[in-house]
């Protein structure tokens, strides 16, 4: 791993990410230069600074930042302060409602009254930020790159010109370090030249352009002027194969769970059920498992859609932070038969809802389905798990029931035109 640059060491966002990935907790302080226990606190509402102490390739690195320092994380071009970033990381496993409530409490505890200074990050922004801070991803559309790297290179080039040593270029003599150098005077001459290009750069530039519309227009002229001697080969039939299309953001399918406390499937046990085929009731899990996040991710291969690449599913138990376009990614809705669950949904009417999305009811074997589930029609698939006996042994029927659920989900996604890149254009599943 390359040693961090000075610009990175001076950046609060980089220091926080380094602290998280190295599992070295920062220190909350009340002074820019904490030197003893009296300068440190444990409550975020009392801290004015955050101090990092990280080992690097060049020795120990100490850096302290004010909590109100703006960071490079700037969704909608609005930089988010360091305190809000750190607070979001501390609450990475909190549910949406718990996170919003925690923001309000901290804003009331901060000096300055109820307004506070914590920014309530949106559902998608919080996921993106946490993924970057934890090191799961290396880039983010909302994190501005450090500009000092380019500035340092420009400063080095200027110094080389002033010393008559030239600057690194792609042609010329090679130095002992392996860099190619060019005489400064020759570089000035080249800078004054007018750059020329061939017909490829003149027509296509740096981005791929589709000329199919011009080809159709040219065809109409050729039909009206048959004497024109223009070969078909001169008209491009398709884009060059070496021109890659811009990368597309992959849309992840969403599974909605019921937030009801009576639900047999909750965030604490849904992964073991849908991913491993073993049902363990929430009451049989320890308290730490029950106090889990309101957002989980799991993978599953859907052979009829893409047998090579596994889909990454998002599991949530609420729609408080949903955007309108998220509904096109919903592929399953689990319910306990209580209609209040759907008040914030795109389709609050259950009968209409389950004509657009496949529904699932999970109950215990031998117990009757709720009357609502029966009344909502064939859009809901009902499965009954064996009652818990205190052990995972002998629960072979669980996997059979889970496969029934996945067959229904896969069938709905296939009808909706899902590919590895996201949903199709046919509309919602029916």
Residues 398 and 269 in one domain: yes
180 neighbors 173 (Cβ within 8 angstroms): yes
- Across the beta sheet with 330-335, the strand order is 295-302, 306-316, 254-256, 330-335, 359-364, 380-385
User: Which pLDDT value is given to residue 141?
Assistant: 82
Question: Coil, strand, or helix at residue 364?
Answer: strand
Cβ-proximal residues to 100 (8 Å cutoff; 6+ apart), any chain: 120, 320
- What range does the domain containing 391 cover? 254-415
Strands 180-182 and 59-66: unpaired
367-376 own/partner pairs: CB under 8 Å, 24+ apart:
369/337, 370/336, 370/337, 371/337, 372/337, 372/338, 372/339, 373/335, 373/337, 376/350, 376/351
Distance between CA atoms of 109 and 106, rounded to whole angstroms? 5
Domain termination site, one of 99, 133, 167: 133
The answer to whether the CB of 423 falls within 8 A of the CB of 328 is yes
For residues 397 and 258, state if they share a domain: yes
Model's pTM, two decimal places?
0.45
CA distance 304 to 417: 11
Distance of CA 263 to CAs 176, 228, 266, 341, 374, Å? Answer: 69, 75, 6, 11, 17
Pair of tokens at residue 158: 């200027």
Say yes or no: 129 and 261 in one domain.
no
Tokens of 211: 């000329």
DSSP secondary structure letter of residue 65 = E
Q: Output 347-356 pairs: Cβ under 8 A, ≥24 positions apart.
A: 350/376, 351/376, 351/377, 351/379, 353/379, 354/379, 354/380, 355/379, 355/430, 356/428, 356/429, 356/430
| Tokens 């965030």, located at residue | 267
Task: Determine, yes or no, domain membership for 430.
Answer: no
Cα(24)–Cα(137) distance, integer angstroms: 19
Between CA 248 and CA 253, with CA 252 as vertex, the angle to 5 degrees is: 140
**Burial class, 382, CB count within 10 angstroms (exposed 0-12 / middle 13-18 / buried 19+):** middle
CATH number at residue 271: 3.40.50.11990
CA distance to 109, 110, 130, 336, per residue, from 47 (Å): 11, 9, 22, 44
Structure tokens at 229: 């001697």
Judge whether 232 lies within some domain. Answer: no
CA angle 11, 77, 28 (to 5 degrees): 35
Which of 133, 148, 175 is a domain's end point? 133
Residue 116 φ then ψ, to 5°? 60, -165
Check residue 224 and give its pLDDT. 52
Whether residue 123 is found in the same domain as residue 262: no
The span from the CA of 68 to the CA of 90, in Å, is 17
- The whole-number mean pLDDT for each consecutive block of 10 residues of the chain, a chain of 430 residues, reads 76 90 88 83 88 68 87 89 92 86 85 65 85 85 74 50 49 43 60 60 58 76 54 48 57 92 91 92 70 80 90 91 90 94 93 94 92 91 91 87 94 89 60
Neighbours of 299 (CB within 10 A): 10
Domain-embedded: residue 169:
no
Contact criterion met (CB below 8 Å) for 285 and 388: no
Residue 154 lies in a domain: no
Q: Please give the tally of structural domains in the chain.
A: 2
Pairing verdict, β 359-364 and 306-316? unpaired
Q: What are the residues whose beta carbons fall under 8 Å from the beta carbon of 417, sequence distance 6 or more?
A: 423, 424, 425, 426
Q: Is residue 37 part of a domain?
A: yes
**27 within a domain of the structure (yes/no):** yes
Is 141 within the bounds of a domain? Answer: no
Residue 60, SS3? strand
Looking at residue 305, the DSSP 8-state letter turns out to be T
Q: Is residue 128 part of a domain?
A: yes
Asked if 262 and 410 sit in the same domain, the reply is: yes
Sign, CA dihedral 135-136-141-147, equals positive
């Amino acid at each position: 791993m390359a040693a961090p640059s000075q610009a990175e060491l001076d950046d609060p966002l980089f220091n926080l990410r380094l602290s998280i990935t190295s599992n070295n907790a920062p220190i909350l302080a009340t002074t820019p230069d904490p030197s003893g226990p009296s300068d440190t606190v444990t409550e975020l509402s009392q801290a004015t600074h955050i101090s990092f102490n990280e080992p690097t390739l060049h020795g120990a690195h100490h850096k302290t930042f004010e909590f109100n320092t703006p960071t490079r994380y700037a969704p909608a071009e609005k930089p988010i302060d360091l305190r809000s970033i750190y607070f979001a990381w501390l609450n990475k496993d909190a549910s949406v409602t718990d996170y919003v409530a925690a923001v309000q409490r901290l804003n009331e505890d901060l000096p300055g009254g109820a307004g506070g200074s914590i920014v309530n990050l949106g559902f998608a922004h919080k996921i993106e930020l946490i993924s970057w801070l934890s090191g799961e991803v290396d880039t983010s559309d909302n994190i501005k790159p450090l500009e000092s790297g380019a500035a340092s290179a420009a400063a080095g080039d200027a110094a080389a010109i002033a010393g008559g040593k030239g600057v690194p270029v792609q042609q010329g003599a090679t130095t002992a370090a392996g860099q190619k150098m060019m005489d400064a005077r020759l570089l000035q001459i080249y800078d004054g030249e007018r750059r020329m290009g061939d017909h490829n750069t003149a027509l296509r530039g740096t981005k791929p352009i589709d000329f199919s519309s011009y080809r159709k227009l040219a065809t109409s002229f050729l039909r009206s002027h048959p004497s024109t001697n223009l070969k078909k080969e001169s008209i491009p039939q398709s884009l060059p194969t070496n021109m890659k299309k811009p990368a597309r953001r992959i849309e992840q399918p969403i599974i909605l769970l019921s937030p009801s406390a009576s639900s047999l499937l909750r965030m604490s046990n849904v992964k073991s059920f849908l991913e491993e085929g073993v049902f363990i009731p929430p009451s049989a899990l320890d308290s730490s498992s029950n106090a889990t996040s309101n957002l989980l991710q799991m993978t599953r291969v859907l052979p009829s859609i893409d047998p090579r690449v596994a889909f990454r599913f998002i599991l949530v138990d609420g729609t408080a932070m949903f955007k309108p376009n998220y509904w096109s990614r919903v592929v399953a809705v689990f319910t306990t038969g209580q209609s209040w669950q759907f008040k914030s949904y795109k389709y609050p009417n259950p009968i209409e809802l389950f004509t657009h999305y496949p529904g699932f009811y999970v109950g215990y074997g031998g117990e009757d389905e709720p009357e609502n589930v029966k009344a909502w029609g064939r859009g809901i698939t009902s499965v009954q798990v064996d009652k818990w006996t205190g052990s995972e042994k002998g629960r072979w029927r669980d996997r059979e029931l889970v496969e029934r659920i996945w067959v229904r989900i896969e069938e709905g996604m296939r009808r909706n035109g899902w590919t590895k890149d996201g949903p199709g254009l046919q509309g919602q599943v029916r």
